[in-house]
Amino acid sequence: MKKIILLLSVLVSFSIAAAIDVYKFDNEEQEALFKTLTAELRCPKCQNNNLADSNASIAKDMRQKTYNMVIEGKNEDQIVDYWVDRFGNFVIYKPPVTLATSILWVAPGLFVVLGFVIIVRNSRRKLRTRDEDEDEDELTGADKDRLAKILKDSEK
Amino acid sequence: MTENKTGKQLLTRLIPFVIFIGVSVFLYIGLFKDASVLESTFIGRPVPEFALNDLVDPSLAHDKSVLKGKPMLLNVWATWCPTCYAEHKYLNQLAAEGVYIAGMNYKDDRVKALNWLAELDNPYKISLFDPDGMLGLDLGVYGAPETFFIDSQGIIQYKHVGDINTRNWNGKLKAVYEQLK
């Protein structure tokens, strides 16, 4: 059993080590920027992996290119723009506000407003029907006579 | 209750049904969309600057001017890509029919690539060699095969991801190629 655990732990550590590339940075800010970028950017070949997690060959290339740009002193926006320019908005997890994506921001507010309107209208309608019920209590002379007659008849 | 009011109430009751139909149609279309195909950002843009050597003759250097002057396909391929193997025969056929095809050997080994062309025939009028995939990155290539449709001005008009075969060539790509000016 211990041997199996040992074997497993060795195997697991190998596969983890395989995903780690070695990059040298001039300072901590560059390293932090590289880490943020590879976590934020999405691998175009994989459906839901960021650059840091993916072992696809395109992700490796993109990590390398991102690293080069970080070392050149480019800032976060410049590097993100560089990738969006080539691979489209797919590479960023955070979608930009455009006409097509505006529904993501508008819809929640719209639902709250719509729900509120429906609640208000429903309660108003209930009030109104109650009013109408009260109106109906006031019967006209002919109806009163009829009612009285019906009640009299039913008593028999 | 008046006629008008019942009509209005009926309409209000229909709203959830209409929303349901809308969402269903949206999701149904989504079923048939290949999520692995990304829209290219390069449509309508010129081929980016590059400097690559020729695959066959390493002393020959190419730049973006070779991807200009006539309507052409730029096919991105590699020997490690099984789909490229499947596609190659059809590219030979297209080349024989007179379609101008430029090739870009992507992240590959020169010797392997040359052997492949010697063995399977060479449909490419020009062969660019991009061993580290840097033009690939600049073109937004994320796999192979990918084929760019470039007009005579060197403007990319269309990009096809995946292999070209009889079905999709006759279905759509032929028309795209013929519209290139």
ipTM: 0.75
- Which H or E element spans position A154? helix A141-155
Contact A34, A80 (CB under 8 A): no
Chain A residues whose CB is inside 8 A of the B136 CB are: 61
Among candidates A47, A57, A88 on the partner chain, residue whose Cβ is nearest the Cβ of B41: A88
**Ranges of each domain in chain B:** 1-33, 51-180
Beta strand B146-150 with B72-77 is antiparallel
Q: Could you tell me the fold of the domain covering B51-180? A: Glutaredoxin (3.40.30)
Check residues A13 and A84 and name the one with the higher pLDDT: A84
For residue A140, what are its two tokens? 């006209």
Which residues 51-110 of B have a C-beta within 8 angstroms of A? 107
Beta strand B126-130 with B146-150 is unpaired
Check residues A7 and B1 and name the one with the higher pLDDT: A7
Each residue's pLDDT, cut to its tens digit, for chain B (181 residues) gives: 456 667 778 888 888 899 999 999 999 988 887 777 777 788 889 999 999 999 999 999 999 899 999 999 999 999 999 999 999 999 999 999 999 999 999 999 999 999 999 999 999 999 999 998 888 888 989 888 999 999 999 999 999 999 999 999 999 999 999 998 8
Q: Say whether A3 sits in a helix, a strand or coil.
A: helix
Q: What is the mean pLDDT of residues A125-139?
A: 72
B69: left (phi over 0), alpha (psi -120 to 50) or beta: left
Residue B37, Cβ neighbours under 10 Å: how many? 12
Contact A1, A9 (CB under 8 A): no
Q: Is the pLDDT assigned to residue A143 strictly greater than 70? A: yes
- Residue A6: pLDDT band with limits 50, 70, 90: low
- Residue A149: pLDDT band with limits 50, 70, 90: confident
Sheet holding B52-54, edge to edge: B61-62, B52-54, B126-130, B101-106, B72-77, B146-150, B156-161
Question: Which of A51, A50, A88, A66 is closest to B161 using CA atoms?
Answer: A88
Beta strand B72-77 with B101-106 is parallel
Please give the pLDDT value at position B175: 93
Distance from the Cα of A34 to chain B's closest Cα (Å) equals 18
Q: Where are the alpha helices (DSSP H) in chain B?
A: 3-31, 82-96, 110-120, 134-138, 166-168, 174-179
Chain B residues whose CB is inside 8 A of the A90 CB are: 38
H helix and E strand count, chain B: 6, 7
For residue B126, what are its two tokens? 């020009």
- Judged by CB atoms closer than 8 Å, whether chains meet at B132 and A61 is answered as yes
Distance from the Cα of B138 to chain A's closest Cα (Å) equals 6
- The whole-angstrom separation of Cα B102 and Cα B99 is 10
For residue A149, what are its two tokens? 């007659």
Distance from the Cα of B139 to chain A's closest Cα (Å) equals 6
- The whole-angstrom separation of Cα B127 and Cα B62 is 9
Distance from the Cα of A23 to chain B's closest Cα (Å) equals 18
- Residue A17: pLDDT band with limits 50, 70, 90: very low
Contact partners, residue B105, CB within 8 Å, separation at least 6 = B55, B77, B78, B113, B127, B128, B129, B130, B131
Q: What is the mean pLDDT of residues A10-29?
A: 67
Q: A97-125 pLDDT, tens per residue?
A: 888 888 889 999 999 999 999 999 989 88
Interface check for B35 against chain A (CB to CB < 8 A): the answer is yes
Q: What is the mean pLDDT of residues A138-156?
A: 81
- The whole-angstrom separation of Cα B149 and Cα B157 is 6
Contact A80, A41 (CB under 8 A): yes
Residue A58, Cβ neighbours under 10 Å: how many? 21
Please give the pLDDT value at position B169: 95
Q: Is the pLDDT assigned to residue A14 strictly greater than 70? A: no
Chain A residues whose CB is inside 8 A of the B137 CB are: 61-62, 65, 86
* Entry pTM: 0.72
Please give the pLDDT value at position A18: 45
Q: What is the DSSP letter of B47?
A: P
Q: A27-76 pLDDT, tens per residue?
A: 888 999 999 999 989 988 887 889 888 888 888 889 999 999 999 999 99
Please give the pLDDT value at position A129: 78
Interface check for A57 against chain B (CB to CB < 8 A): the answer is yes
